[in-house]
């Protein structure tokens, strides 16, 4: 497959994924929590942190819950905001996490009439290197946003806020921490991992080595274009097989 065709296919997949996401996102329940944003000023110099206050509120007559992963309760661990600069999307530069299934302890509870406020430094998580008029709103969605058992329908629950707008002067991109050195060949090294996490990582790496070895052996043993080969790489040619 040539590079231009690969890029086109990749673009198609991205567009289809976006359409799918749009089609399966529902509104927040009427008896659920609400979220609002506020900023203390309308303009931020390059030397100033762009601080945004996120307020989760419960105006219902009962306790509601929100999955902490989609709040700033433990810091920003997902792209919680949709940010634009002069109408163009601003890139999220924060972390993405691969998580296990949510359990009850992963939720924060708001009693009737209760509110929680969190202050986020937007520049820590979004690319504010260019000057312009910025608009931001809170926008998260998940099948289990309000309940670890998920909802009874085939759409994601969502939580969104109104937009806030401010003028932001570009600043130097946030530096990223120096990654730990790579593990020596055949060995493992860890950074800020518990004993259980280390054990899981060793197991995962061993399984990955098995998968990689089996894939390599399969290619060496079946070099004439099997159905599995064609599924992933297209029609067999010697040049394409050598590339694979």
Structure tokens given for 80: 């919680």
The residue out of 118, 153, 168 marking a domain boundary is 168
Task: Report the C-alpha gap between 229 and 244 in whole angstroms.
Answer: 10
Q: Do 70 and 162 reside in the same domain of the chain? A: yes
Is 178 part of a structural domain of the chain?
no
- Determine the pLDDT at residue 183: 58
Is residue 80 predicted with pLDDT exceeding 80?
A: yes
Q: Do 16 and 132 reside in the same domain of the chain? A: yes
136-183 pLDDT tens trace: 999 999 889 998 887 655 678 899 999 999 999 999 877 554 455 565
Is 179 part of a structural domain of the chain?
no
Is 186 part of a structural domain of the chain?
no
- Determine the pLDDT at residue 86: 95
Tell me the pLDDT band of 117, cut-offs 50, 70 and 90: very high
Q: In this structure, are residues 15 and 8 in contact, taking their beta carbons and an 8 Å threshold? A: no
pTM above 0.85, yes or no: no
Q: Do 162 and 203 reside in the same domain of the chain? A: no
The answer for residues whose C-beta is within 8 angstroms of residue 115's C-beta and 6 or more apart is: 55, 56, 57, 58
Task: Report the C-alpha gap between 159 and 68 in whole angstroms.
Answer: 13
Q: Do 114 and 204 reside in the same domain of the chain? A: no
Is residue 8 predicted with pLDDT exceeding 90?
A: no
Residue in the block written with tokens 């819950």: 65
Q: Do 127 and 218 reside in the same domain of the chain? A: no
- Determine the pLDDT at residue 103: 92
10-65 pLDDT tens trace: 444 434 444 444 333 334 456 789 999 999 999 999 999 999 999 999 999 999 99
Q: Do 159 and 208 reside in the same domain of the chain? A: no
| 43 or 235, greater pLDDT | 43
Mean pLDDT of the chain: 82
Is residue 184 predicted with pLDDT exceeding 80?
A: no
Residue 237 belongs to what domain range? 195-243
The residue out of 168, 187, 208 marking a domain boundary is 168
Q: In this structure, are residues 138 and 159 in contact, taking their beta carbons and an 8 Å threshold? A: yes
Q: In this structure, are residues 35 and 56 in contact, taking their beta carbons and an 8 Å threshold? A: yes
Q: Do 162 and 199 reside in the same domain of the chain? A: no
**Residue 109: other Cβ atoms inside 10 A:** 12
SS3 7: helix
Q: Do 203 and 137 reside in the same domain of the chain? A: no
SS3 153: coil
Strands 43-44, 164-168: pairing is parallel
Is 21 part of a structural domain of the chain?
yes
Q: Do 153 and 44 reside in the same domain of the chain? A: yes
- How many domains does the chain fold into? 2
């Amino acid at each position: 497959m040539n590079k231009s065709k690969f890029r086109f296919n990749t673009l198609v997949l991205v567009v289809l994924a976006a359409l799918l996401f749009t089609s399966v996102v529902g509104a927040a329940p009427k008896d659920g929590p609400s979220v609002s944003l506020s900023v203390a000023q309308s303009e931020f110099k390059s030397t100033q942190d762009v601080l945004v206050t996120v307020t989760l509120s419960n105006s219902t007559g009962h306790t509601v819950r929100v999955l902490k992963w989609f709040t700033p309760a433990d810091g920003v661990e997902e792209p919680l905001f949709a940010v634009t600069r002069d109408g163009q999307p601003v890139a999220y530069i924060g972390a993405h996490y691969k998580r296990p299934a949510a359990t009850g302890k992963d939720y924060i509870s708001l009693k009737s009439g209760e509110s929680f406020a969190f202050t986020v430094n937007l520049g820590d998580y979004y690319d504010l290197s260019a000057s312009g008029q910025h608009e931001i709103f809170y926008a998260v969605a998940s099948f289990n946003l309000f309940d670890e058992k998920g909802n009874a329908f085939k759409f994601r629950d969502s939580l969104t806020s109104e937009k806030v707008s401010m003028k932001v002067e570009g600043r130097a991109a946030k530096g990223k921490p120096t990654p730990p050195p790579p593990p020596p060949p055949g060995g493992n090294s860890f950074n800020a991992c518990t004993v259980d996490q280390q054990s899981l990582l060793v197991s995962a790496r061993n399984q990955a080595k098995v998968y990689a070895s089996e894939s390599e052996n399969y290619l060496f043993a079946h070099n004439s274009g099997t159905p599995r080969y064609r599924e992933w790489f297209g029609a067999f040619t010697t040049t394409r097989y050598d590339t694979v």
